[in-house]
A and B are shown apart, each in its own frame.
Chain A
């Protein structure tokens, strides 16, 4: 089977990697360069703290795959599984509690922490700045850049060509895919995977397939480096603040994004102010630390905040998008599941996320 994957981010490369491993002939098309999209602009948080059983399963499988793929492809992902902590203010404490009881019922090793207990994992957090926390000890942080380089290396080793700076157009005949147009040339494929993230709507339109994903812009900044001392990744579900420390020592932090009409990846002053206010309230000790660099990225979110994975009404046209801010947490397992779906025609693991 010949498959074209559109989008060289974690969703596309992971799908390509597993397809190639299972014997398909795969080509990947990236409109810009690898890491241009959300896979190169996110903060690398990894968790399984989802309010959906199938998402939890995908996240757990992804964590396993991070461990195995980095040795398979020979690339250090700078993976650090030192925990993921969600914190919540008064108004969201009940939601967080409900979520944890659901996750525990599904067998996830997650627990409720009181604010002063969070100090055991991060001593400098201001326990007056939130009401409740949920701790997932197996979560953590990964550096997205080597993840993408490693997957690309793995794909190439398996004979998969990756074309960068190659925008393509999907060509459909009747209700079946024909292939992709690269410049004037039509390259024929049996299957086309739409893993174009925030750009996937345009790809769906070319195929004549409905697409309801929303686009969200999120901003992040990094500070100067400190000796590594913050272990977990922290996400405040009430204010949207998130922060973690990279293996290079920088504090990587941002605010959960907002929906936008048009794609725009410009960093804003307004974000810096909002971030600085909240982060200095949550971790007062960081006050004197300087911001080195800020940037923005866009991702797409499927209906009900869930990814969109699977066959569409156009034969051979497959969706692999809508991951929201959880592409790093879900992308590896989603790629593996999609590869099985494409080659076997069926896969119960991701049935729920089917667009049809």
Chain B
């Protein structure tokens, strides 16, 4: 247990888990994210993304530029629904969504 290097706390992923996934063929950042769930938990990548990129670089020999980053999704920090509900909608096509 001493050797468990946790790189993503939200999804409970160790460095070994990431290496294993890369070896299984999930060897680009977008696939690695969607196979392991790293960067999609409560931290949204704030804690884990740099680790994931580092491991991917070390393992594949690519530069951080080549590995790239995942799309940063809004909001930057979590926002409660009641706050958003008070926001102003452009109201295009009225209040209602499209039909199925």
Contacts and interface: CB of A to CB of B under 8 A. Distances in A.
Given A276-B84, A290-B79, A294-B73, 16 more contacts: A40-B34, A164-B31, A238-B96, A257-B97, A257-B98, A258-B93, A258-B98, A270-B89, A273-B87, A274-B97, A287-B85, A289-B80, A290-B78, A291-B79, A292-B78, A293-B74
10 contacts: A240-B96, A255-B97, A258-B93, A258-B98, A270-B89, A272-B84, A280-B81, A280-B85, A289-B80, A294-B74
A216 interface: yes
B81 A224 contact: no
Nearest to B24: A153
A287 B40 contact: no
Nearest to A290: B78
B58 to A, nearest CB: 21
A258 B30 contact: no
Nearest to A295: B73
B42 A273 contact: no
Contacts of B41: 248
A329 to B, nearest CB: 12
Interface of A: 33-36, 40, 145, 149, 164, 216, 223-225, 235, 237-241, 248, 255-259, 267, 269-270, 272-277, 279-280, 286-295, 305, 324-325
A287 B81 CA distance: 5
Contact of A270 (B34, B75, B92, B100): B92
Interface in B25-83: 28, 30-31, 34-35, 37, 40-42, 44, 71, 73-75, 78-83
Contacts of B100: 235, 237, 240, 256, 305, 324-325
B100 to A, nearest CB: 6
- The 3 lowest CB-CB distance pairs between A and B, nearest first, are A240-B97, A290-B78, A276-B84
B4 interface: no
B87 A276 contact: yes
B90 interface: yes
A324 B79 CA distance: 30
Scoring A34, A164, A259, A293 by chain B CB atoms within 10 A of each residue's CB, the highest score goes to A293
B3 interface: no
A269 B87 contact: yes
A237 B97 CA distance: 9
Given A272-B87, A294-B73, A36 B81 contact: no
A289 to B, nearest CB: 6
B52 to A, nearest CB: 15
Contact of A291 (B31, B35, B84, B95): B84
B2 interface: no
A257 B97 CA distance: 7
Contacts of B88: 273
A157 to B, nearest CB: 13
Nearest to B35: A149
Contacts of A277: 85, 89, 95
A322 to B, nearest CB: 14
Nearest to B11: A248
B87 A258 contact: no
